[in-house]
Structure 1
C-alpha cells in the first residue's frame, strides 16, 4: 500500500512518470559504484522510495516543489554510468531520472544546445553528420548523458586537446533550484563552476549548451613497446607535439595490456601498448616517433570505420578498469596525477614499493593550459586498509590522488567545492538535493 506522499505524487504527475515497483527502484538507484569494493559494500543496499521520470521541465519543477513541501530528498540520475555513487540515494526519497529530457534543441557552429538526457553517442553521431564533433566525452559515451557527464564526470576522450569539463567545454546551462517555487536559472561563465561536477547537490541541470569542434577524420593506432618507460616517453612526446592532431593518447603496461582480449592478436604478450586516436594524415609522423622509442605500429583502424565498430577508446579511461574487472574481480583502481618533471621517478618508486599491487595505466590530457600525465592505475585489492596505505604512499611522493572509493564530493585546489557549497545553501535551503554527498560541510 502506498504511503500518503506517494499517492499524492502519483496523482500529481501520473503513474507513468512516478514509479514505485521494487525492480525499477532497485535498478535505477545504482550506478557503477561496484568498480570500488569499498563503495560496493557501502552502497549496494541503498534504494529510493520512488522514481520520477519527467519528460518536461514543467514536470521537473512540479516534482521539486512537491519534494520541498513534503521534505523529500531528491537524487538526480542520467544514465547511471558514474563510478562513485553520484546517483545513489543515501537517504531514500525520490530518484529523479532525467533521461526522458532528451531533445537536441539546436546545433550551431561551435556548439550544441541539448536537454540533459541526450545520450552523448547519439549527439556525436548527429554532430559528425553536420561536420562537427564533441570536444570531450567519457569512454561510456554510447550510454552516458550530457547532463550526467557534466554533473558527475571530469574528462575523457578529447581531453588531450580540449581539457576537462571545467575548461570551457560547457557554455551555458539551465539549473533548477529546490525551493517552494523552484527557480529556473540560466547560468554561464564563472557561475557554471558551482554546477559542474556537483553531483546534483547545488541545483539540477536540465539543459546545457556544449562546445563542439570541427569534425576530424580519426585513425586509431596501436603502438607496441617492449618496456613501459619507452611507451611513456613516446606518449609524452606525442602529447606535447602541437603539429599532430589527436583525440586520445592512452597507455598501459602489462598485465593491463593482457586484459584487452579483443586486441590480443595485435601485439605480443607482455608488451606495453599505446592506444591512439590521431588525424589520419599523421600516420607517418606517428611511425617515426614510434621508431625513436623502439616501438612499432601493430594495428591501424582506418578513419572510415570510426564509431562504426568497437574502437580503441573502449579500452581507455575507466573502460580500462572494466576490462580489468572482467579479468579479475579482485582488481580495482585509483585516479592519480603525476609530476610533469619527474613522473618516471614517481612511477619507478611505485613499482619498487608495490610490484604486484599497482599497475600503470595513463591518460595524457590538457589541464590548466598544460599537457599533464593523468593515470587510472589498476590496483590488486587486498583490503580497505591496504588500499589507503597505497594512497598514503602515493601522496607522500607527490602523486595527487582523487579517491574513487568515496561517494563524497571531493574538495579541490581551485575552489569549486566552495562555490558548490555556497550555491547549495541558497538553492537548496532544506538540504534535500542528494543529501550526504557533501559530508559535514553544511553543519
Structure 2
C-alpha cells in the first residue's frame, strides 16, 4: 500500500478506497463507446484510485489531499453519460458519489437531494406525495442527480419544461478544488457555470430540483406510413396547449425495428411517434393521430406508468443503444432544426445521405421556444465521413452539437465557455479538477 493509498484509507476507510485493476477499469468508463471516435480516444484511460466518500466532509478531505499532492480528481455518478465526461484523462483520483444518496427534503415544488442518489428513486418518492420531476433523463433508473446536472441537459419533460438551465435546477451546493475547499450555494444565472460543465468548475454536494404536480400519464405508439405525416403530427401535439405532454419522440423506419422488446407491437415499415400524454387528453390525441393518417398501435394506461416496460426507454439516446445492440454499425449526431424549415432540411439530408442517416426527433422547448431536437442515427464509415455529414448539416442551417468530442466547448457549450473558464480558474486554481475536458484551459496546472 503506497502513501496516497494509506492516506485515502485513513480518511475514508479501506473499504471505500478501490485500487484493484478490474474495478478501476469499470468505474473509469461511461457510455462514450456510442461514439467510435471517442472509443479510440478514451479506451485506455483509467483512474489510479477510486474513492467512495459518504458525506461532504470526506470529499473535502479528499480534495485537500489531492491538492497537496497535485493529483487530478474526477467526479463520477452512475457513468451513464455519452461524451466521456467522467473519464479520468490523467489518471488520479476518481470520486464515486453513490454513497451520498439521500433525499434531504421534499417541499411543494422542489426536492433537495445528495448528488449520488438515483433519480428513479427520487421520482418514485415524489409521485407518492403527488409530485414529480419536471424533467429527467431516460436513464433515470440508474442515473444520479449529480451526474444529470453535471453531464446532462434535458430529457423526459423537456417538451414542456425545457432543459436543466430553464429553471429546473433551483440551487446547488458546491465545493472548490483548493487545499482548504470553500463551500457555497449557487442560484440563478450563476448555476450556468456548473450545470453541464462536466464537473470542471466545482464539486456539487447538494442539488435542489424544481418539481411539479403529479400527472397521470398515458404512453402510446402512433404509427404512420409517411414520415412527413408523423412529423407534422408531432409538431401539432407539441404546439397544442390543451394537451399536457411529457415526451414526443419521432422515429423514422428502420429505427423502430431495433426496439427488440417492442417487436410484437411494431408495424413493419412504419414510422412511429412515441408519446407520454395526460390520461384525460388521450382521446383527443387519438383523434389527431387519425387526422394525420396514422393509427395508435400500442398504448400503456396510466395505471401501469413506470411499471414494467417504459416507452421512454426507446426515446432520446436510447435509440442509439438499441441500434448498437442490434449490431448495426451506427453512431449518432445531435442537432437542432429550424421549426419553420425542418421538413425541407430533412429532405436535403435524405437526398444526400439516403440510408446513411435516419431521422429521430425528440421535441423539446428551450427558453420557451419549441425546437425539433434531433438525435439521428448515422451509419459510421470513417471519422472524416462523419464530420463531412456534420458540415453538410450545418451548411443547411442545422445546429449540430458534436457528440464525438469530450471537450466542453466543442460539444455545444461554446456560448458559455468564457464564463466557465473564468469560474474554473477561481475554483480550481491548480487545474486539477477533471482536466482535459476544456480545451481552451489547456490543462494548466499551476505550481
TM-score of the superposition, structure 1-length normalised?
0.98
Deviations 1:99-123 (A, max 9, x none): 1110100000000000011100000
SS at match of 1:212: strand
Checking the alignment, whether the CA contact within 8 Å between 2:154 and 2:162 is kept in structure 1 is yes
Deviations 1:310-339 (A, max 9, x none): 111010001111111111241110101101
Deviates more, 1:14-23 or 1:293-302: 14-23
Match of 1:275?
Answer: 274
Match of 1:174?
Answer: 173
Match of 2:215?
Answer: 216
Shift in Å, 1:6 = 2.4
Match of 1:375?
Answer: 374
Checking the alignment, whether the CA contact within 8 Å between 2:111 and 2:210 is kept in structure 1 is yes
Checking the alignment, whether the CA contact within 8 Å between 2:74 and 2:88 is kept in structure 1 is yes
Match of 1:439?
Answer: 439
Match of 2:259?
Answer: 260
Shift in Å, 1:422 = 1.1
Shift in Å, 1:68 = 0.5
SS at match of 1:372: strand
**Aligned counterparts of 1:329 and 1:413: Cα–Cα separation in 2:** 30
Checking the alignment, whether the CA contact within 8 Å between 2:12 and 2:52 is kept in structure 1 is no
Shift in Å, 1:23 = 1.6
Shift in Å, 1:419 = 1.9
SS at match of 1:440: helix
SS at match of 1:354: helix
Shift in Å, 1:413 = 7.1
Is 1:151 aligned with 2:154?
Answer: no
**Aligned counterparts of 2:76 and 2:180: Cα–Cα separation in 1:** 22
Is 1:417 aligned with 2:420?
Answer: no
Match of 2:3?
Answer: 4
Gaps of 5+ in 1: none
TM-score of the superposition, structure 2-length normalised?
0.97
Match of 1:429?
Answer: 429
Deviations 1:119-153 (A, max 9, x none): 00000000000000011111100000011001000
Match of 2:334?
Answer: 335
**Aligned counterparts of 1:348 and 1:3: Cα–Cα separation in 2:** 61
Is 1:135 aligned with 2:134?
Answer: yes
Residues 414 and 93 (structure 1 numbering): CA distance in 2 closer, same or farther, change over 3 Å?
closer
**Aligned counterparts of 1:373 and 1:242: Cα–Cα separation in 2:** 17
Match of 1:84?
Answer: 83
**Aligned counterparts of 2:102 and 2:109: Cα–Cα separation in 1:** 18
Deviations 1:59-107 (A, max 9, x none): 0000001101000000110000000000100000001111111010000
Match of 2:124?
Answer: 125
Deviations 1:151-180 (A, max 9, x none): 000110000001001100000010010101
SS at match of 1:436: coil
SS at match of 1:107: strand
SS at match of 2:355: coil
SS at match of 2:229: helix
SS at match of 2:440: coil
Is 1:225 aligned with 2:192?
Answer: no
SS at match of 2:14: coil
Shift in Å, 1:440 = 3.0
Give the number of aligned pairs.
442
SS at match of 1:167: helix
Is 1:99 aligned with 2:70?
Answer: no
**In angstroms, what is the RMSD of aligned CA positions?**
1.1
Shift in Å, 1:17 = 1.9
**Aligned counterparts of 1:435 and 1:216: Cα–Cα separation in 2:** 42
Shift in Å, 1:393 = 0.5
**Aligned counterparts of 2:406 and 2:7: Cα–Cα separation in 1:** 31
**Aligned counterparts of 1:329 and 1:273: Cα–Cα separation in 2:** 20
Shift in Å, 1:7 = 2.6
Shift in Å, 1:356 = 1.6
**Aligned counterparts of 1:422 and 1:221: Cα–Cα separation in 2:** 46
**Aligned counterparts of 2:147 and 2:163: Cα–Cα separation in 1:** 14
Deviations 1:404-442 (A, max 9, x none): 111111355784222211110000000000001001335
**Aligned counterparts of 1:306 and 1:12: Cα–Cα separation in 2:** 43
Gaps of 5+ in 2: none
**Aligned counterparts of 2:419 and 2:194: Cα–Cα separation in 1:** 9
**Aligned counterparts of 1:185 and 1:272: Cα–Cα separation in 2:** 49
SS at match of 2:394: helix
**Aligned counterparts of 2:136 and 2:359: Cα–Cα separation in 1:** 22
**Aligned counterparts of 2:43 and 2:298: Cα–Cα separation in 1:** 40
SS at match of 2:299: strand
**Aligned counterparts of 2:94 and 2:413: Cα–Cα separation in 1:** 31
